[in-house]
Amino acid sequence: MRVQSNTNASAAQALSIDRLLERVRDGDGSALDELLPVLYGELRRLAHRVRARNPASPTLNTTALVHEAYERIADHGRGWNDRAHFFRVAAQAMRHALVDYSRRSRAQKRGGDSVPESLSSFELVAEEKTAEVIALDEALGRLATVDQRQGEIVELRYFVGLTIEEAADVLSLSPTTVKREWTAARAWLYREITR
Amino acid sequence: MGQDWIRIKTLLLEALDQPDDNRETWIRQQCGDDEALVEELTELVESHRQADSGQVLEVPPAALLDPEPLRLERGARVGPWEVGDLIAEGGMGSVYRGERADGAYERTVAIKVLRPGRRQAEALKEHLHQEGRILARLEHPNIARFYDLGVATNGMPWIVMELVDGDPITEWANRTGAGEARRLDQFLAACSAVTHAHRNLIIHQDLKPSNVLVDSQGDAKLLDFGIAQIFEVLPTKEDKRDEQARGIGLTPGYAAPEQIDGGLITTATDVYALGVVLLELLTGERELTRGRLDRELGAIVNKALATDPEDRFATVSDLANDIRRYREGLMVSAVPNTASYRARTFVRRNKKLLVGVAVLLVALVGGLAGTLYQASIASRERDSAERRFDVARNVAGDLMFDLHDRLAEIPGSTRAREMVLRRSLAYLDSLAAEPDRDEVLRRDIAQAYLRIGNVMGSPINANLGLLNEARNSFTKGMSVLQGQSTSAGPRALPMVDQETYARLLEAMGAVFASMGQPDSSVVSLAEAVSLFESQREQHPGDPAALFRLATARVKLGDYLGNPNFPNTGDRAGALTHYREAERLLDEAVRLGDDGDPTLRQEGIVFERLGVLYAAADSFEAAGAAYRRSFEIRRELFSRNPNHLNIYRDLGIGHEKLALMYQNAGQLDSALVEFERSEEVYRDLTESDPVNVQAKQTLAIGLLHLGDLFHAPDMLNFGDAAAARRYFSEGLELLESTVEIDTSNVRTRRLIEIFENRLERTK
């Protein structure tokens, strides 16, 4: 019963994602705002499901998730099969979700009382990571205004975790081009976020 | 930036294609005299170099959201620890061997790395810090030692613990073919570890055989305490429907119903898991099949596995205590307390006693005691006069008192004890009346009088409320010791007799106090204290002498100025003696005596100090003293679940804490503590309906509860009707004891108090 109802729920969700994606493709800006949280929720739910099937899987990562999300949505999609577009939207969804998460967690930290002294061996890289996400998001915003292609490459590489080849496939570019664009973008972004 | 950037990135990529030693020259050539461009390119080349070597931006931040377990490489560092071989890997994370990377610590440790929990990073930091401090407090021989914790560079929390080389308890049992006794030993060790953790506010939440190991030395070692709290891997209410959350940290078959339903996790959750472990350890299965366990173990397991946490053992020590009781042949709480169960338990227990005593005990339970017992006395009285001395030794030393002491530990035995003692007393009287008594026999008789008197009426022990008989018995003991030379005084006696004499004086003092004569009481006790003091001077390194002196000083303090006892109103004197007693007991502990009696006495001293501080309105000092006392008693009770006095002390400990709460205006907490003490007192009276002291104690408990609901001079709930119910019950209870003991001043005074309370709450 439980499984059945879940399937129905996600089918309904997939359909709504499908509709939103179509609206996004048709240039409806508000649809993107609606789509991102829905898509992110879907990705998370999929992550849970995949992990429940294979708890110790060392290979499960964001890329696999996005692939699976795409397959599921494509199955339900009435004519929606623009895989590249889907990945670009998914990348924006991940970016949106991660930046949102990082902002919230840092705001909470500022709002909280004093943080106690750390343990002797404390390394809190997760905290650094949230700072990196926010700084990168801002820098990426500036980069995308002058070089949209680089912006998309960074989104796919950084927020989704696609390889050079996968990103090339999604963007219909040669891997060499993607690699060069990525290298230049990374150098620039790195300087921006470490200044 | 626009067009600039297109140009810059093209130049950058070309610059990167140049050989390292030529790059700077190449940039200068391309840029001409555009110094800004040179600077820009030089910076970007440097950024590229750093980003490339540091893998910056290569690791997607999705790990923040995606709780994927990431592996650690051999040789990687977490904090000061170096990761070694992978030991185990599971859904929750991985365990590695590890060592201190800086060599500051030689031992090989276990490093457990977990998938991050739901907590956000910065909250995690604070949380880990607090949990680390709590975990560091866990020091128990059966708990794998905690060393360190933190968050690794990939965002995963890690914890470093003692590396335990052992087998899960069930595998150990199968491998070694251990019998039930050894299996239960290991299980009790595990219970003691969990109890220790619970006292430190740590609930394990994932107890299962693979977390309860038996190491190569054969010692039980529990792993993973604090993991649940640190990493919050268990579902809370809001995400109980979340499949993944449900899948983490819950081990099917061991998880309690409230864990699966997202209910409140309490210490009862660990009781449940321990119940499953016990069942599996004893039967090899995780479901109880009828007949696989004997009735009592089955009942214990069933109680631990109750669906409603309220129906389980309240604490892990309760579970452990029931197992101990089962092993000692005592009644277990898990089995309903019926007459036939009591009888069977008695019989089983009796196997350990002398056959003759066993027959007598069975007879007592069956109601045939009188007949049988008289038959045995009659046969002794037919013995020749020469044998009487030997019989007297038995009476004084072995049989009767062994029987009595064993009976005294069993709830419900008062009537049987009274009968045994009256017979013994009559017999002693006839021996004492004989003219030619040797020294040893005299000593035995005096000691017998002391013991009989204590059971008859000493308020210190569970007593039969026979104050006059008790006082007579002590007087007889003293005169037997002194023999013909009464004028010389006790200090003329041999040292060993001085001790007995002092004990008789001490007991006499307590009985005087119960009779409402604190002035006489204080005289007897002061004399006892002075005799014990000279005993101590004779044996300076003897903790037993310290203990006796401390005990006597506590009693002297009680009757000098403790408002809870009939007293002479000398508070300062009482305080002096209590403090001196505390010092003496400390010294005894330093000399290596931390046995139950010493601890118990320490618990008493702190409670007494609490009473005096509270009476002087020093509530802070009183609170500290009560808390100390309560902790000591809890420790004692966990050691001796079947010991009446200690059980009663625990009730008193709850009561004192409750009074502190009431004074502080925390009425709800006060109610909780009062109800706990009432439960203890009720258990005591129900198990032994003719024990006067137990009824008085319960009555006082009810008095406190009534006062909590309505009292003119204390903070209270202001509910006169509720108060009346407690007062009426208390009065009824006290009136029922008057028939047993008409001369008990305490009972009479208590009755007056209850009548006043009822009048006031009308």
* B408-435 confidence digits (pLDDT tens): 555 555 666 666 666 667 666 766 666 5
Phi-psi map region of B649: left, alpha, beta (phi>0 left; psi -120 to 50 alpha): alpha
Tell me if chain B has a CB within 8 Å of the CB of A162. no
CB contact at 8 A, B102 and B148: no
Nearest by Cα to A154 from A169, A176, A139, A174 = A139
Among chain B residues, CA nearest to A191? B47
Residues in chain A: 195
Instruction: Please determine, for residue B115, whether its predicted confidence score (pLDDT) is greater than 70.
Output: no
Mean pLDDT computed over B102-111? 82
Name the more confident of B359 and B189. Answer: B189
pLDDT at A38: 66
Instruction: Please determine, for residue B742, whether its predicted confidence score (pLDDT) is greater than 70.
Output: no
Among chain A residues, CA nearest to B153? A125
Tell me if chain B has a CB within 8 Å of the CB of A101. yes
- Which residues 349-388 of B have a C-beta within 8 angstroms of A? none
CA distance B92 to B249: 7
Q: What is the number of CB-based contacts under 8 A between chain A and chain B?
A: 181
Query: Which residues of chain A fall below pLDDT 70?
Result: 1-22, 24-86, 93, 97, 101, 104-129
CA distance A126 to A130: 7
User: Are the beta carbons of B126 and A184 separated by less than 8 Å?
Assistant: no
pLDDT at B168: 92
User: Are the beta carbons of A186 and B57 separated by less than 8 Å?
Assistant: yes
CA distance A123 to B80: 11
Nearest by Cα to B571 from B610, B604, B612 = B612
CA distance B605 to B98: 48
Mean pLDDT computed over B57-84? 67
DSSP state of B334: T
Instruction: Please determine, for residue B103, whether its predicted confidence score (pLDDT) is greater than 90.
Output: no
Instruction: Please determine, for residue B605, whether its predicted confidence score (pLDDT) is greater than 50.
Output: yes
ipTM at complex level: 0.70
Mean pLDDT computed over B499-513? 92
> How many beta carbons lie within 10 A of that of residue B366, not counting itself?
12
DSSP string, chain A: -HHHHHHHHHHHHHHHHHHHHHHHHTT-HHHHHHHHHHHHHHHHHHHHHHHHHSTT-SS--HHHHHHHHHHHHHHH-SS---HHHHHHHHHHHHHHHHHHHHHHHHHHHHHS-PPPPPPTT---HHHHHHHHHHHHHHHHHHHHHH-HHHHHHHIIIIII---HHHHHHHHT--HHHHHHHHHHHHHHHHHHHH-
Which of B26-40, B119-133, B151-165, B673-687 bottoms out in mean pLDDT, i.e. has the lowest?
B119-133
CA distance B577 to B560: 9
Tell me if chain B has a CB within 8 Å of the CB of A10. no
User: Are the beta carbons of B47 and A130 separated by less than 8 Å?
Assistant: no
In angstroms, what separates the C-alpha of B575 from chain A's closest C-alpha? 42
User: Are the beta carbons of A183 and B61 separated by less than 8 Å?
Assistant: no
Tell me if chain B has a CB within 8 Å of the CB of A194. yes
> How many beta carbons lie within 10 A of that of residue B165, not counting itself?
10
In angstroms, what separates the C-alpha of B284 from chain A's closest C-alpha? 27
In angstroms, what separates the C-alpha of B601 from chain A's closest C-alpha? 41
Candidate from B5, B122, B129 with C-beta closest to A109:
B122
Average pLDDT, chain B: 77
Candidate from A115, A133, A142 with C-beta closest to B126:
A115
CA distance A177 to A162: 15
CA distance A17 to B198: 48
What residues does B89 pair with on adjacent strands? Answer: B94
Residues of chain A contacting B71 with CB distance shorter than 8 Å:
58
What is the tens place of the pLDDT at every residue in B681-735?
A: 998 888 777 778 888 889 999 999 999 999 887 888 999 999 999 999 999 998 8
Interior angle at CA B519, CA B514 and CA B525, nearest 5: 75
User: Are the beta carbons of B57 and A129 separated by less than 8 Å?
Assistant: no
Q: How many helices (H) and strands (E) does chain A have?
A: 8, 0
User: Are the beta carbons of B148 and A161 separated by less than 8 Å?
Assistant: no
In angstroms, what separates the C-alpha of B137 from chain A's closest C-alpha? 15
CB contact at 8 A, B116 and A129: no
Residues of chain A contacting B121 with CB distance shorter than 8 Å:
105, 124, 126-127, 129-130
pLDDT at B565: 85
SS3 at position B113: strand
- Which residues 21-80 of A have a C-beta within 8 angstroms of B? 44, 47-49, 51-52, 55-56, 58, 60-62, 65
Which of B270-284, B413-427, B562-576 bottoms out in mean pLDDT, i.e. has the lowest?
B413-427
What residues does B671 pair with on adjacent strands? Answer: none
Average pLDDT, chain A: 65
pLDDT at B300: 92
CA distance B732 to B715: 26
